[in-house]
């Protein structure tokens, strides 16, 4: 294993990508990068990482910022629980650790939003603590090298890969070693069409020698995809619109949204006009529909949203609308964190009206 480790780290030193979070030993910046890169591509992550650090340069600035500002900086990345957990953890570090990240794996993993992988990454890269990182890339690399036939989602599979990763770990330079293993998975040992012929460790790879690349790692059966049908109402009243913050345990928690009617199936506008929520929101008052968007499909993990946006004007406000939503100036809408789906529809509306969206 020592030879394998040396070859891997030598390859990494020559081939690693020039990424901004690799130029710092700041636990805050490393933690931020690891959270950002969950469910986010590296190319997209770089832009958000740099912008986020410019807006919140240290844990103190992040901790004292309003949640809405954090969500706004995160807008477009999705998986907003990550942003909420960043904010919570920043406040804990300021309040309980005087703004200094704990140089301890167990303390790190106890923080909100920090699991085994993130705790190991921060501990090893920022503090040189000898703990092995196991993410999707590492699992794939080690499953192929050692011929592990256990599914990645199984407890037995996770335990076996963690055992192998720990045995392989260079305890003198754990951060560099962990990054080397992850980089191999990101650049060479890809899920599909891996570059086995140029892999520095192909001489010991079980999957390569046995021609089992497609079979390893063992894949699990994917869960079904849920379809949802959203109808958003952009209701204008005297140059104002109505929004509310999502508070239920569902997608986009804490983000703001336009009045929403969700139906079980796709429905035509004529049928939606008879929906009880539509009737409640307008309560017999007159409205003028200016534009109905085409259906916008938006893919989330295990969910496909089919959304339609109705742009309307009213001359009076119903009690239900006034009670359930807040009324804001139209131009202030962009100050509120919203989903990418809503942002996409608002841009579409601006294009239709031939006005700028900033």
Nearest to 49 by CA among 19, 90, 93: 19
Domains of the chain: 2-209 (1.10.340.30), 226-353 (3.90.79.10)
* pLDDT, tens only, 260-277: 999 999 999 999 999 999
What is the torsion angle, in degrees rounded to the nearest 10, for the CA atoms of residue 319, residue 323, residue 328 and residue 333?
-120
pLDDT of residue 348: 75
pLDDT of residue 339: 93
Concatenate the DSSP letters of all residues of 138-197 into one string. Answer: HHHHHHHHHT--S-TTSHHHHHHHHHHHHHH--TTSHHHHHHHHHHHHHHTS-SSS--GG
pLDDT of residue 358: 47
Q: Is 246 exposed, middle or buried (0-12, 13-18, 19+ CB in 10 A)?
A: middle
pLDDT of residue 356: 55
pLDDT of residue 345: 84
pLDDT of residue 331: 86
pLDDT of residue 19: 98
Residue 323 DSSP class: H
What pTM, to 2 d.p., does this model score?
Answer: 0.79
* pLDDT, tens only, 287-330: 999 999 989 999 998 899 999 999 999 999 999 999 999 999 98
- Which residue ranges in the chain fall short of pLDDT 50? 357-358
Q: Give the residue numbers annotated as catalytic, written as ranges.
A: 34
């Amino acid at each position: 294993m020592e030879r394998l480790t040396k070859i891997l780290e030598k390859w990494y030193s020559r081939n690693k990508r020039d990424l901004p979070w690799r130029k710092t030993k700041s636990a805050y910046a490393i933690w931020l990068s690891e959270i950002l890169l969950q469910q986010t591509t590296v190319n997209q992550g770089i832009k958000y990482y740099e912008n986020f650090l410019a807006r919140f340069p240290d844990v103190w600035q992040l901790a004292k910022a309003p949640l809405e500002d954090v969500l706004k900086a995160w807008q477009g990345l999705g998986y907003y629980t990550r942003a909420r957990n960043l904010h919570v953890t920043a406040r804990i570090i300021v309040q309980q650790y005087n703004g200094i990240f704990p140089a301890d794996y167990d303390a790190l993993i106890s923080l909100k939003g920090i699991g085994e992988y993130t705790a190991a990454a921060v501990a090893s890269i920022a503090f040189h603590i000898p703990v092995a990182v196991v993410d999707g890339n590492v699992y794939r690399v080690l499953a192929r090298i050692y011929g592990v036939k256990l599914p990645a989602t199984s407890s037995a599979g996770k335990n076996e890969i963690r055992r192998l990763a720990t045995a392989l770990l260079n305890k003198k330079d754990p951060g560099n070693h962990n990054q080397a293993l992850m980089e191999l998975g990101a650049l060479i040992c890809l899920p599909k069409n891996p570059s086995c012929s140029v892999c520095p460790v192909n001489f010991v790879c079980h999957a390569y020698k046995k021609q089992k690349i497609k079979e390893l790692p063992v894949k699990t059966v994917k869960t079904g995809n849920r379809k949802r049908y959203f109808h958003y109402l952009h209701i204008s009243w005297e140059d104002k619109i109505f929004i509310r913050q999502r508070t239920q345990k569902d997608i986009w928690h804490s983000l703001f949204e336009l009045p929403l009617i969700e139906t079980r199936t796709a429905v035509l506008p004529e049928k939606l006009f008879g929906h009880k929520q539509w009737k409640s929101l307008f309560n017999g008052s007159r409205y003028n529909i200016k534009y109905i968007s085409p259906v916008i499909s938006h893919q989330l993990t295990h969910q496909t949203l089919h959304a339609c946006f109705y742009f309307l004007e009213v001359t009076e406000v119903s009690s239900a609308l006034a009670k359930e939503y807040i009324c804001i100036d139209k131009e202030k809408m962009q100050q509120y964190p919203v989903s990418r789906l809503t942002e996409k529809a608002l841009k579409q509306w601006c294009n239709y009206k031939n006005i700028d969206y900033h």
